[in-house]
Structure 1
């Protein structure tokens, strides 16, 4: 039985089980973002995202700062 809300990833549309009230059990908690990466993502997106998209955006940000 699902105890948490099923939502869509804002970036790719994949269904994910949001566990905001149990953050350490949420799939997004496996992605360790630094403050600059969080800021970069929050400037472009407002909602929850799947771990795959968070990793892709982290890579995008890191590639962007290397090329600056």
Structure 2
């Protein structure tokens, strides 16, 4: 991949400039992701996502974690 390349987000198909050659200036650096969030996203998409979709996927991960935690709580209280 060149230093700067116009790519399309595999999630929303929006064109954006990927700056893999200068990653600290890339639009994806706007969104801070944990390793778990990165893994969650990588299980659903290949390649770079736009910052907007990264933020959306981050939120989806948090919602999924919350849902799973609630399920654990309800399962524990149902066993009592």
Consecutive unaligned residues of structure 1, counting only runs of 5 or more, are none
Q: Which residue pairs with 1:36 in the alignment?
A: 36
Q: State how many pairs are aligned.
A: 66
Which structure has more RCO (C-alpha within 8 Å, separation ≥ 6)?
1
Q: TM-score, normalised by structure 2?
A: 0.79
Q: TM-score, normalised by structure 1?
A: 0.93
CA RMSD of aligned residues (A): 1.0
- Larger % of helix: which? 2
Consecutive unaligned residues of structure 2, counting only runs of 5 or more, are 69-80
Aligned partners of 1:4 and 1:19: how far apart in 2?
5
